[in-house]
Amino acid sequence: MRTPVMAANWKMHKTIPDTIGFIDTFITLVRDIPQDREIVIAPPFTALETVCRAFLGRKNLHVAAQNMHYEEKGAFTGEISPVMLSDLGVSMVILGHSERRHVFGESNELISRKVVSAISHDIKPIFCIGETLEQREAGDTVKVLESQLSEGLSQVSESDMENVIVAYEPVWAIGTGKTATPDQAQDAHDSVRAWISEHFNSGIAEQIRILYGGSVKPENVNELMALPDVDGALVGGAALDPHSFAAIAGCEI
Ligand code: 13P
């Protein structure tokens, strides 16, 4: 019912030659993967054009940016606008990633402006939320997720909400090799869907794709994808190798 999304977040990895090498192998490996899923790669800005060209005309392969400014243009040194991303053929953007929140101090308010801007430029936001270990241990996981959802999606209308993809990435599972247990992931995803049902409506909640991110690997992806409220994965380290990401993208669904 919900089309799964298997997404790679390359973070600050890969030059253009590295990207070409990856894509050459990856495209061959995913040729026979069922078309019942969307496969997404989010390379660094410098490699977006390379991946966009390689994926041109391939219906189930999509390109995402890892960040975006909310304005179309202006005096914002070092920023990239939604218009510039659309220009390249980028159709999705990761927003509010935990590294943007915690390393670069992005606030819910800033992220919320970016989410609205992406939607208005026909770029689907992959809107990331997740609790720290301290927050989980204090029993605040649901409270944290709800406040990130309510602030980050505060300006999104009901009709625009169907274009949002949510990614639940517990901060303590990112890059640590520590994956959330199936129960932890299912509970978090279920609470996200319940919040969407309450604040938008149950139809939208049923449609929204909620991805899990945090130490996803070929060895654990099937178990995660078998959970009723997990609709895909956002993968960091294990998506840097074409064989490993192709195994994840081609998981049992
Ligand atoms: P890892 O898969 O390396 O834990 O990274 C997850 C992530 O941050 C994806 O956005």
The predicted structure's pLDDT at residue 253: 85
Residues 167-223: tens digit of each pLDDT = 999 999 999 988 999 999 999 999 999 999 999 999 999 999 999 999 999 999 999
Record the tokens describing residue 204, joined without a space: 């939208």
Cα-to-centroid distance, 47 and ligand 1 (Å): 19
The answer to whether the beta carbons of residues 118 and 68 sit under 8 Å apart is yes
Q: Is 244 in the pocket of ligand 1 (CB under 6 A)?
A: no
Q: Is the CB of 9 under 6 A from ligand 1?
A: yes
Q: Please tell me if the CB atom of residue 216 comes closer than 6 angstroms to any atom of ligand 1.
A: yes
Cα–Cα–Cα angle for 246, 19, 52, nearest 5°? 85
pLDDT at 213: 98
Residue type, 131: E
Confidence (pLDDT) at 140 = 98
Residue 32 has pLDDT above 90, yes or no: no
pLDDT tens per residue across span 217-246: 999 999 999 999 999 999 999 999 999 999
The domains found in the chain, sorted by start residue, are 5-249 (3.20.20.70)
Residue 59 · residue 31 · CB < 8 Å? no
Q: Is 215 in the pocket of ligand 1 (CB under 6 A)?
A: yes
Report CA(2)–ligand 1 centroid distance (Å): 22
- Active centre residues (catalytic): 97, 169
Give CA–CA dist 140/111, Å, rounded: 21
CB atoms within 10 A of CB 71: 15
